[in-house]
A and B are shown apart, each in its own frame.
Chain A
Amino acid sequence: MQMKSARRNRRPVLAVLVLVLALSVPAGKDAFTAQNIGRGAFGDDVIELQARLQWTGFYDGKIDGKFGYGTYWALRNFQQDYGLPIDGVAGAATKEKLVSVSKYHKDFVMDNIAAGKTFTHYGGTPLEAQVKGGGNGAAGGQTANQTANQTANLPAGYSDEDIQLMANAVYGEARGEPYEGQVAVAAVILNRVEHADFPNTVSGVIFQPLAFTAVADGQIWLTPNERAKEAVIDAINGWDPSENAIYYFNPVTATSKWIWSRPHIKKIGQHIFCM
């Protein structure tokens, strides 16, 4: 009876032990999705790839989920050292080898990304010693995925700050407009940046006095939605439904005579786009 009771007492202890082990063992073989991961990819698979490459000492860049050249060369070097086909793409064989020779502390990585902290994920160094601070805690209750989604994979020359500012402007100026109209507003900002008559930075264009109503009435500080951000990404990738416009206005509310004198191109939603 006593033995039975001792066994019974051990059961919760074992269960706790198993649970602790399960939680402390880094994500295993099935952590990656089935996707091949190559240059241009973005998201959680890339975060894991970068973390594992860093664990094995091949990657010294930022773990940000963007598969750029830094990740590409690191992966090729890994493939070379482990006798895998060298193509810079993380396919099934490469991922399997990576998983077998590295660890991935998903919670550690995702939590630090969510908190906006500077950190590394090298093997052989205690993780707590690899967090270098940074971040303002503004992420608050956000999950890592939400934070990762806030950055974007952009063409060279554009930053996350540009995206944020343009998304704010698009949302403040055109949130009730069709998607095409939102992309067109973002394109007008970019057309101005390239135009000799306007400042040559995104912020310079947006904050030019009285250039945008949303700046004048403070609506630029509203939190933009995903649709506005997507519109900005399309414009940055080259789409311009305004057909090269550098101005637009709402004919119902516009008071300036001057804006009516500009050559009109097309009307999208409530806005007339012009040269």
Chain B
Amino acid sequence: MKKLIFVLAYTVAALAIFSWSASAKNERLTLVLNGQYTDQLTEATEQMNQLEQEVRKVLLYQDQTAAVEPFDNIWRLSSEIRNNISGLPLDREFTTEWMNYLTRLGDYAELAKTGAIPQDKWEKALGNAAANLNEFSNEWSSATQGMFAGGTGPDTWFAQLESEEPDKRWANLGQAVKTYSESDFPLTTSEHDEQKKKDLKHLEDKPIGRDGALGRFKELFPDYDGATIHVSQSEPDAPYPFYHIRFQDGARIGYADFTERGGHLLSLLIERPVGEDVLPEADIRKRAEDFLRQAGYEDLVYEEARENSHFWHLSFVRVDPDTGGKVFADGVQVKLAKDDGEVLGVNAMEYIQKENLKAQPINPFDPEEFFADGTKVQSEELGYTANRELVQRLCHLLIVTKKTGGRTDTYRLMVDTETGEVLKSEILD
């Protein structure tokens, strides 16, 4: 009996100590988190005031050079506020709208700085932005009132965020920012095109129907003729309609999505166990190329391959027939099993709506004049990439090497054939 009492007393004491320790730890964490959130909120508020001032400052100048600093500050501050806001548990609707507004404001300032936006246009937009930011600042003060008080801990923040009835002040603020975005920074034509391409909303092909989608699947992947197949349609408010085909054939389980209009393959992915055999890379590539040819993708060329533990991922890009330039935005990716080269994935989403390419002069390009001494051009061809205004531009696509400090680095550069501007530069591993 004594032993039992001793064991029970010991257990109760241990539990009490554990409970006290856990509670103390939680309290400490809560305090730390509360401090961190308050700090981020304070910083975001201060930066918001600075942002408003910088937007007003930039409107002072006629001289483009004098405007560079406030433009840079707008870009920097918008990025820093985004960082602070994204780390705070604020109303989701408000956060997404505010992040969007800040991104647009920062990008706009960056473009205006380079002269890509005419002065009268950016003056108008930033004039609106200054007024809106002032209004926003007042609303923000009202919404965050009380959040700086020590008693408002993370629990209160999270409870508000998870509440079924969101706080109206935040909802209104989110709605206001959405209006600012639409009025201050409406989408440009290029952004519209980019979005349209992403959404595949405006395909003009005829609807193929459920049977058409199934027929297209069997035509492209005849090996799955005997598979158990289930076809469904995208939800009614999806940004673009498509058919979703799920199938199972033995150990193979996969899906394929086809656009409702035209029956274009969006993507296919199959999961199955992969053996330890390894087919040579050349055979893998040939199988991918054979598949693409049979599937009707005839204007693609091989771009690169990446091997991983059981699969190869191969990338192909469209070649513009007029210039011979590679259109990287119109690519198709193929995934193949290393053991037997079976095609286990195709991603053709970006290939469906081709980029709108405009004729462009190709001015003489002299690498010796363009590059510093010691830079070696390893290959040169033509390719397309988007500039800052999201317009596809024909470029000299150069692979160059340069030895710096005993190390040879490889660079991939895309230089506009008309303006000579470097639109893309990256160091390759």
Contact = CB atoms under 8 A, between A and B. Distances in A.
Interface of A: 33, 35-36, 38-43, 60-61, 66, 68-70, 72-73, 149, 152-156, 178-180, 183, 196-200, 204, 207-210, 226, 230, 233-234, 237-241, 243-244, 255-258, 263-267, 272, 275
A157 to B, nearest CB: 8
Contact of B305 (A40, A69, A238, A243): A40
A272 B312 CA distance: 30
B306 A154 contact: yes
| Top 3 A-B pairs, shortest CB-CB distance | A69-B410, A209-B89, A40-B305
Contacts of A35: 278, 280-281
Contacts of A255: 162, 164
Contact of A265 (B92, B235, B345): B235
B308 A198 contact: no
Which of B87, B161, B309 is the most central at the interface, judged by chain A CB atoms within 10 Å of its CB?
B309
A179 B253 contact: yes
Q: Could you tell me the dominant secondary structure of chain A's interface residues?
A: loop
B428 A244 contact: no
Contact of A275 (B88, B239, B333): B239
Interface of B: 82-83, 86-89, 92-93, 95-97, 99-100, 103-104, 158, 161-162, 164, 166, 198-199, 232, 234-240, 242, 244, 246, 253-255, 257, 266-267, 269, 271, 278, 280-282, 304-313, 331, 333, 335, 345, 347, 349-350, 401, 406-408, 410, 426, 428-429
Contacts of A243: 234, 238-240, 242, 257, 266
B410 A155 contact: no
Nearest to B272: A179
Nearest to A76: B378
13 contacts: A69-B429, A180-B254, A197-B100, A208-B86, A233-B313, A239-B335, A241-B269, A255-B164, A256-B92, A258-B92, A265-B238, A266-B235, A272-B235
A130 B126 CA distance: 58
A224 B192 CA distance: 39
Given A73-B401, A199-B83, A209-B88, A155 B199 contact: no
A41 B307 contact: yes
Contacts of A233: 308, 311, 313
B335 A234 contact: yes
A241 B307 contact: no
Contacts of A39: 304-305
Contacts of B271: 178-180
A143 B320 CA distance: 48
B37 to A, nearest CB: 9
B253 A40 contact: no
Which of A68, A178, A209 is the most central at the interface, judged by chain B CB atoms within 10 Å of its CB?
A209
Given A61-B407, A197-B99, 8 more contacts: A40-B306, A60-B408, A153-B307, A196-B99, A233-B313, A239-B345, A263-B237, A266-B234
Q: Could you tell me the dominant secondary structure of chain B's interface residues?
A: mixed
A266 B407 CA distance: 49
A240 B281 contact: no
Nearest to B427: A156
B99 A198 contact: yes
Contacts of B100: 196-197
A38 B314 CA distance: 13
Contacts of B92: 210, 256, 258
A265 B200 CA distance: 13
A216 to B, nearest CB: 9
Contacts of A68: 428-429
Contact of B86 (A152, A198, A237, A263): A198
B281 A241 contact: no
Nearest to A198: B99
A156 B267 CA distance: 22
Contacts of B313: 233-234, 237
A35 B338 CA distance: 12
Contacts of B82: 199-200
B237 A183 contact: no
A64 to B, nearest CB: 9
A150 B162 CA distance: 37
Given A209-B88, A255-B164, A33 B335 contact: no
B239 A265 contact: yes
A272 B304 CA distance: 34
A197 B239 CA distance: 17
Which of B83, B86, B240, B244 is the most central at the interface, judged by chain A CB atoms within 10 Å of its CB?
B86
B428 A241 contact: no
A198 B335 CA distance: 29
A42 B429 CA distance: 13
Nearest to B86: A199
Contacts of B104: 196
B191 to A, nearest CB: 10
A60 B406 contact: yes
A43 B347 CA distance: 25
A260 to B, nearest CB: 11
A234 B266 CA distance: 15
A127 B306 CA distance: 31
B86 A204 contact: yes
A214 B253 CA distance: 26
B407 A60 contact: yes
Contacts of A70: 408, 410, 429
B281 A38 contact: yes
A26 B211 CA distance: 61
A119 to B, nearest CB: 17
A243 B311 CA distance: 23
A140 B391 CA distance: 51
B267 A208 contact: no
Nearest to A151: B308
